Every structure is written in C-alpha cells, then in structure tokens.
Structure 1
C-alpha cells in the first residue's frame, strides 16, 4: 500500500516531505510488527535488542555502557531493561573483578534458549521482507537510509 493510501493523504508539500512521512510511518510499522512477534515471549523490541547484543559477545561479558552504546533505541533505560531480563533469568550480572564500579553481564542458558525460539518468528519476518525486496534493493535502501543520516 502506498503511503498516500496508508495515511489517507493525497498531496505532500514535496517529495522530501513525503519521504520523511514515509520513513516515520514505516519505522512505526516495523516497530509494531517486530513487537507483535515478540509479545508472546513477553519481550519488547528493546529487550530483544539487548539480548542479541549480549549473545553476540557470549561467552565474554559485556557492560551496561557497551550495551547502551549499540542499542537501536538510544532512549532505552538499560538498567531497567537488565533488571527485567535478570528477573526473568535471561541474563546474569556480576561485579567486574577488575573494576568494582562496573557490572559484567552475561546471557544465561535460559536466555540463549529463548533467543533460539524467538529466532524462528524473527527469521520468518525477515524472510517475508526478502520476498518483497531483492537483496540488491535491500542494500540500496540501506545505503539511502545511511545517506539520509549523514
């Protein structure tokens, strides 16, 4: 569906305005679609993002600051996210032996198992997008989005 139909707007000031509206609308659509895939697991997209970051460093620990640096949602309260993930036993926090002011965060076996389960619907989500966009189109779109942020 074209953006004009999705938001019931026939005209835009110009193509740049239309592009910004389309980016915002599509970003929200992606967030909501990803959230729907994660809801049955009791996760928000921010939890999933943090777990993937921690899994990416596994078996090495990661600090809360390192997680925050690479989170997709820079406004996330990492401490609160980690509190919830620890309460659910998906991550474990320990005092860093080399720096007692820092916490080392590791993913648990339960967290790894959860991500293995969540990977299935997430892969289906990405495969659905791959049916609509070729690899070349996806790369071109990604390059254009990078260019917008310069």
Structure 2
C-alpha cells in the first residue's frame, strides 16, 4: 500500500516533506518488524545490536563508549543494555585497566552461540527488502547515505 493511503493523507507541502514523513513511517514499520522478529529469542533490537558489535570485535573487548559510537540507535542506554546482557550470561564486563571510569565488555561463548543460532533466521528476516532488486537496495542505501550528507 502506498504511504499516502497508509496515513490517509494526500496533500503535502513538498515532495521533500512527503519523503521525510515516508522515511519516518517506514523506519517505524521496520523497527516493529525487528521487534516482533527478536521477541522469540528473548532479545531486543538494541541488545542484538550490542551483541553484533561485540562479535565483530571478538576476541578483543571494547568499552561501553566504543559500543555507543557503533550503535545504530545513538539514544540507547548502553550501560543498561550491557547490564541486561550480563545477567543473561551473553557478555562479561570488567573495569578498564587504562581508565577505571570505563567498563570493557566482551561477548561470552554463550553470546556467540546465541548469535550463531540466530544467523540463518536473521538472514531470512533481512530479506524483507526482498521486493527490491540488489541494484535497487544499493540505490536506496546510497540515497539514505546522501540524506545524512
């Protein structure tokens, strides 16, 4: 269904306004799909993002501020997310030896196993853009990069 039909609005002040609203609307749509996808794994979008970052860093640790710099959602409370992941046994945290105000975080073998068990499902789930060709997906990504300038 077209964006205008979804929000029951046909008049916009400009194509840029329409595109901005469509981008916000689509972002919410994708976020809700992600939330529903991760629910059976007992994990949130933000927790998955932290685990993904830690897997990419593995076997090295990374500070919580380093994680925050790499997060997709820059408004996330990384300390709280790391605490929850620690309680689940998916990460370990230690005081940074160079700066005792910082906490270093590393993914555990259990966290790696969780991600590995999710990989096939995540790949299938990411195909929700499957209505786009590879070239269209590339073009969309380039346009989004251009928006962020």
TM-score by length of 2: 0.94
How far residue 96 of structure 1 moved from its aligned partner, in angstroms, is 2.7
How far residue 148 of structure 1 moved from its aligned partner, in angstroms, is 1.1
The answer for unaligned runs of 5 or more in structure 1 is: none
Distance in 2 (CA, whole Å) between partners of 1:16 and 1:100 is 47
Distance in 2 (CA, whole Å) between partners of 1:113 and 1:145 is 33
After TM superposition, list the pairs within 5 Å mapping 1:79-94 onto structure 2.
Answer: 79-94=79-94
Distance in 2 (CA, whole Å) between partners of 1:21 and 1:99 is 43
120-129 vs 26-35, which deviates more?
A: 120-129
TM-score by length of 1: 0.93
Counterpart contact for 1:61–1:105, Cα < 8 Å: yes
SS of the counterpart of 2:89?
A: coil
Partner of 2:147: 148
Distance in 2 (CA, whole Å) between partners of 1:13 and 1:120 is 43
How far residue 102 of structure 1 moved from its aligned partner, in angstroms, is 2.6
The answer for unaligned runs of 5 or more in structure 2 is: none
